[in-house]
Chains A and B, each alone.
Chain A
Amino acid sequence: MEKEQDHFRVPLADTFRRKTPFTQLFEHMKVVKKGIDALESGLIKYYQGDYKGFSTISKKISEYEHEGDIIKSNLRNHLPNSLFMPVDKGKFLRTLREQDSILDHADGLVRMLDMRHTKIPKTLQKGFIDHANSTLKTVDAMEKAVGNIMDLIETSFIKRERDQTKQYIYEVQRLEQETDKIKYDVTKAIYKMESKLEPMDTYHLLKILEMVDDIADHAENVTDWLRAMIAK
């Protein structure tokens, strides 16, 4: 931060920060959303065997991941002990960290997918696409829950807004469970076809499923910490 040469003695100026932590958490969430939106446009096509333009999408997601990292470290490195927040700072940082993991996992996933184009067998395609959609829905629901934080701040955490955030959180939990269920169904289907598949293909199919599922898991973790953060 450049030192300003204004020459005034105004203690009020030192009491505030230019960028507030929640605004930055919100900004970070927006970047996650952009990354996940990019993933959505690429992943479904990939599952259908259309690899055109996937590298570009992969690069884009890596860029978002980097952008998110910058916001995260910026936020984390500028929360001094003297900073007083209306919520527990540790829980706030855990929320941020989990939110950042979503992008990390999305980035890892597309890099792997880009390195080896794994063909999804026709019979498994529907399951994979359902699983991807369910994951993306979980992230969307998480964004809603995090998005409500601004209302919480505005009203200084009144009951009505906390209840509303909790409703959003329950929705995330429900969707995550659904995603899990689809994952197990698809996994079962992969094991059934095991003899017809190359071992390396089997490995990758399971791995892709696992990595997509991690995204939903971390979305749920975000809301778990969010819940803990706003608890009275």
Chain B
Amino acid sequence: MLIIGGSAAIAFYMAWSIGSNDVANSMATAVGAKAITFKQAVLIAGVLNLVGAVFVGGHVTDTVRKGIVDVQSAGISNHILLIGFIASLLAAAFWVTLSTWKEMPISTTHSIIGALIGFGLIAGGVQTVIWGKVGSVVASWILSPLSGCIIAFLVFKIITITIFSKDNPVKAAKIVGPIIFGFTALLIVSSLFVKTAFGENYDISESTGLLYAVLAALIVALIGIILLRKIPERGPEDYDTVEKIFRKLQVGTSCYVAFAHGANDVANAIGPVASIIPLAQGLSIGSQVEVPIWLLTLGGIGIGIGCMTWGKRVMKTVGSRITSLTNTRGFSVDFGAATTVLVASKLGLPISTSHTVVGAVIGVGLARGLEAIDLGIIKKIVTSWLLTLPIAAGTSIVIFLALNMIF
């Protein structure tokens, strides 16, 4: 009981840290573009992260708890596994705190995966780490910013061609905006129904789920078109009104970001705990146990509290720094990043939301949508990729050895 409580507390701290930093990173585009105030951002992020975590968070959590370290391999006792997961959690928490303090662009995802690899290596040797899975996870770290970049690029290009180039941009925006927004609904609803505990519980088959999603998309797009119908049009150069329309739509995409973020990042905090719980109860993790809902909820609440406390400050600061991001840009960034993160969540790939958001910003920049972006950030991110894994692994090994001596 003490072990479960203790590890849950550390997980809660991790969730808090994710909430305060990563959520700020993903919501700041909406705040910077003035689509929502930072108070609204905090509220949206808190609630929708929880929803995303509870409904879709299970896939990535499964990867974290049994996809990196082969928990069924011979020669590792439950006792070692228990210590190992605790060590990984501690190492990741330590590393995340340090990088926050030093303001390094490091992802919680990378820390926890690195820590797990370290523990696998020390506890059972090279063959204990499931390298195939680790390989696909690492590949996803490179692919996710790229995918965010490409989707945001395309969305922004679509906006340029179908709205700005038209003789009556406002009229075009009233139609095109809700249609793109309908896709958001499609993706969210299908992610809720397809291959989730939620869908299975209510006995909704994949095709019915998809049908619901398409219906939801159509309804959302139609409602959008109807609601925006009355906005006055003032000639071919009325870009302000176009931005205003996207400001409304961006409230929706920021919900999308928060939802996707909760679905992916909650695992970083609670993944190891999901392994610790059955171990502490004397069961083996190999048995097909669902990730307990209360744990997902705990993670979601932790993220929510994180963004309501420290995240508020971070969001305010970052939001004021990126004011050059207008609503059409913010919309593209949000859409590109959230779609990537949500798809990765469904695939069970733990990726970094922060890095995906940066990728999406660069995508809009490449579409000639931004006045200036600092590509120096790419170097920083790549460095953090190269450094985080070995350092988190090393820390995890040290903590593991120390704990192993004590217990």
Residues of A within 8 A of B (CB): 4, 6-18, 20-23, 80, 82-86, 151, 153-160
A17–B374 contact, CB under 8 A?
yes
A225 vs B358: C-alpha distance in the bound complex, in angstroms? 32
When C-beta atoms are compared, the residue in chain B nearest to A86 turns out to be B368
A10–B28 contact, CB under 8 A?
yes
Partner of B361, one of A12, A21, A85, A160: A12
A13–B104 contact, CB under 8 A?
no
B88 at the A/B interface (Cβ < 8 Å)?
Answer: no
A122 vs B164: C-alpha distance in the bound complex, in angstroms? 55
B105 at the A/B interface (Cβ < 8 Å)?
Answer: yes
**Shortest beta-carbon distance from A79 to chain B in Å:** 8
When C-beta atoms are compared, the residue in chain B nearest to A19 turns out to be B324
Q: State the total of A-B contacts with C-beta under 8 angstroms.
A: 140
B239–A15 contact, CB under 8 A?
no
Segment touching A, from B17-25, B132-140, B294-302:
B17-25
B373–A83 contact, CB under 8 A?
yes
Residues of B within 8 A of A (CB): 20-21, 24-25, 28-29, 32, 99-106, 156, 160, 164-165, 236-237, 239, 243, 310, 313-314, 317-318, 321-322, 324-326, 354-355, 357-358, 361-362, 365-377, 379-381
A6–B376 contact, CB under 8 A?
no
Q: A11-B25, A13-B321, A155-B164 are in contact. Are A82 and B379 (CB under 8 A)?
A: yes
A156–B358 contact, CB under 8 A?
no
**Shortest beta-carbon distance from B171 to chain A in Å:** 15
When C-beta atoms are compared, the residue in chain B nearest to A25 turns out to be B371
**Shortest beta-carbon distance from A5 to chain B in Å:** 10
Q: A10-B24, A11-B355, A13-B322 are in contact. Are A159 and B165 (CB under 8 A)?
A: yes
In the complex, which residues of chain B have a beta carbon less than 8 angstroms from the beta carbon of A4?
Answer: 317
**Shortest beta-carbon distance from A15 to chain B in Å:** 5
In the complex, which residues of chain A have a beta carbon less than 8 angstroms from the beta carbon of B354?
Answer: 9-12
7 residue pairs bridging A and B, Cβ less than 8 Å apart: A6-B313, A8-B103, A9-B103, A11-B355, A11-B357, A82-B379, A85-B372
In the complex, which residues of chain A have a beta carbon less than 8 angstroms from the beta carbon of B366?
Answer: 84
B100–A11 contact, CB under 8 A?
no
A211 vs B164: C-alpha distance in the bound complex, in angstroms? 42
**Shortest beta-carbon distance from A180 to chain B in Å:** 33
**Shortest beta-carbon distance from A59 to chain B in Å:** 34
B100–A13 contact, CB under 8 A?
no
In the complex, which of the residues A18, A20, A156 has the most CB atoms of chain B within 10 Å of its own CB atom? A156
**Shortest beta-carbon distance from A29 to chain B in Å:** 15
In the complex, which residues of chain A have a beta carbon less than 8 angstroms from the beta carbon of B365?
Answer: 84, 86
In the complex, which residues of chain A have a beta carbon less than 8 angstroms from the beta carbon of B105?
Answer: 9-11, 14
Partner of A156, one of B99, B160, B313: B160
A8–B373 contact, CB under 8 A?
no
Partner of A83, one of B239, B355, B375, B381: B375
Partner of A80, one of B368, B374, B381: B374
When C-beta atoms are compared, the residue in chain A nearest to B366 turns out to be A84
A13 vs B368: C-alpha distance in the bound complex, in angstroms? 20
In the complex, which residues of chain B have a beta carbon less than 8 angstroms from the beta carbon of A13?
Answer: 28, 317-318, 321-322
Rank and list the top 10 A-B pairs by shortest CB-CB distance, nearest first: A11-B105, A82-B376, A86-B368, A20-B371, A155-B164, A16-B322, A8-B314, A156-B368, A10-B25, A82-B375
Q: A6-B314, A12-B25 are in contact. Are A155 and B374 (CB under 8 A)?
A: no
In the complex, which residues of chain A have a beta carbon less than 8 angstroms from the beta carbon of B103?
Answer: 6-9
A86–B324 contact, CB under 8 A?
no
A15–B358 contact, CB under 8 A?
yes
In the complex, which of the residues B101, B156, B324, B372 has the most CB atoms of chain A within 10 Å of its own CB atom? B372
